[in-house]
A = this chain, B = another copy of it.
């Protein structure tokens, strides 16, 4: 077993609550393709959690969840407005374009990764002729890829612009739980009550082996989405193993507890480093990620000390924490960063 690393929240394994539910589900026969009890239970769990009778689908990963959701909201000649930092733009290898057969991403420059009503307005108005794809959807990542959380009011303001321009609002919630935890709000508050039409609720980064949930709050938008999933290779035959972990997470409250722990680990690292002038936070720490700005030599030294991490736009370093973050190991990371800084200073 390797020492814990914080390069990605995908490095973590499966949390006990998800595991136990899978184990329970692994008893005897179950009907395939989602007509089983676990799938029904998980779907109802989401409806209860969001306090709305929404349509719920389970797919394998975030790339598919986001791309299928977007494809269901637009045709190939439509476009999707997103931030330049959006995962669908930077890290899904053209998946949204593939699933939609060509929908273009209209990318808004974003200093901190957040999309703003003004940026949406600008892009929505930039072209209105048939020689350019027609905007149909806005997508925001909650929290952003930079670890920032949209407030309820920010989402409502974005939703208002969407309505003005007849755009649907999609939320990439790969770490949705972490946003709920930070805001201490109900899931509904930052989703359908704030104007979100479709939410991709992430399970993998929050303690599951595999699997994301796609929630359509406007049920009409979900028409034939089951066919879409099937055709796109996203219908699990043994669906119970995608659904059961959700039951475990939702019933036990682990979905929130895991996020809480991950967020706390991030804050812990940030606090540890708050006294070192040589290392700066690129963004306020609101969710489970810490983005550090430091000299290249400091980062190189840190790598030499055995730490893995992604480097971020502009030369920063990203550390992501999951449900399993060992605070002693976070402390060790903080100590090593301090050491790297002081070694550098010499």
Contact = CB atoms under 8 A, between A and B. Distances in A.
Interface of A: 1-5, 7-8, 10-14, 19, 22, 25-33, 59-64, 67-68, 75-79, 90-95, 97-99, 101-104, 130-134, 204-205, 209-210, 224, 226-228, 230-238, 240-242, 308
Contacts of A75: 224, 227-228
The 3 closest A-B pairs by CB, nearest first: A64-B233, A98-B102, A97-B102
A337 B222 CA distance: 41
Nearest to A67: B233
Given A130-B227, A205-B237, 10 more contacts: A3-B28, A4-B28, A4-B29, A31-B308, A60-B233, A63-B233, A64-B233, A76-B98, A91-B132, A102-B102
B67 A94 contact: no
A26 B14 contact: yes
Contacts of A78: 224, 227
Contacts of A32: 8, 10-11
Contact of A61 (B22, B224, B235, B308): B235
Contacts of A99: 102, 233
A66 B207 CA distance: 29
Copies in the complex: 4
A81 to B, nearest CB: 14
A224 B77 CA distance: 9
B231 A233 contact: no
24 contacts: A1-B27, A2-B30, A4-B29, A8-B32, A59-B233, A60-B210, A61-B236, A61-B237, A63-B233, A68-B233, A75-B227, A76-B101, A77-B230, A90-B131, A92-B131, A92-B230, A93-B130, A93-B131, A93-B227, A95-B231, A98-B102, A98-B232, A210-B236, A210-B238
Considering residues A59, A104, A130, which has the most beta carbons from chain B within 10 angstroms of its beta carbon? A130
A252 to B, nearest CB: 17
Contacts of A224: 75, 77-78, 134
Identify which of A2, A3, A5 gathers the most chain B CB atoms within 10 Å of its CB: A2
Nearest to A4: B29
A94 B98 contact: no
B101 A98 contact: yes
B63 A77 contact: no
A14 B241 contact: yes
A31 B3 CA distance: 11
B27 A13 contact: yes
Nearest to A132: B93
B241 A130 contact: no
Nearest to A211: B210
Contacts of A19: 26
Given A60-B236, A241-B210, A231 B29 contact: no
A35 to B, nearest CB: 10
A54 to B, nearest CB: 19
A104 B94 contact: yes
Contacts of A204: 237-238
